Amino acid sequence: MILKRYVLRAWSLSSEHYVPNPQLDFLPQEQKNHIRHAMMDLLTAEDHVIRDIAASIVPKIAQADWPNDWPGFLEALSGVIAQSSDVTQVLSVLKVLRGRSHAPLPRPARRTLCFPQTFVAPVLSKGTSS
């Protein structure tokens, strides 16, 4: 929960509840990339509690970073679905999308947003493979 609070308050200037803190610098992009990747990996964790926590944090990171600082966000979600071994892991991705859907889209994204084929195809194939 510490990470979630950090993302909400200090991840970037566009964080949901950004609070200036002169004692706390923004993380370098390299470290943010590492955290983003780790959180995406946790969406497929065996433990549902860990998956749910990741599914609550990833949309907050995406809200602050997508599309400018995390242009591969939707493709990363597509990759999680492609690597998922069961339906509960796919549900974690849907929770991320639900959490992201409550946030307003950045102005350029409103004009250009569409689900790329790389995202839709794994979802459809998961539904037909059982």
Q: Is the peptide bond before 22 cis (omega within 30 degrees of 0)?
A: no
pLDDT for position 35: 96
Q: Give the confidence band of 14 by pLDDT, cuts at 50, 70, 90.
A: confident
Distances in whole angstroms, Cα of residue 130 to Cα of each of 1, 5, 49: 35, 38, 25
What is this structure's pTM?
A: 0.75
In the chain, where the domains are located: 2-21+28-128
Residue 7's nearest CA partner among 16, 48, 94, 97 is 16
pLDDT for position 83: 87
**Which sign does the torsion angle of CA 70, 74, 78, 84 carry?**
positive
pLDDT for position 24: 72
Percent of the chain with pLDDT over 70: 77
How far is residue 114's CA from residue 77's CA, in Å, rounded to a whole number? Answer: 14
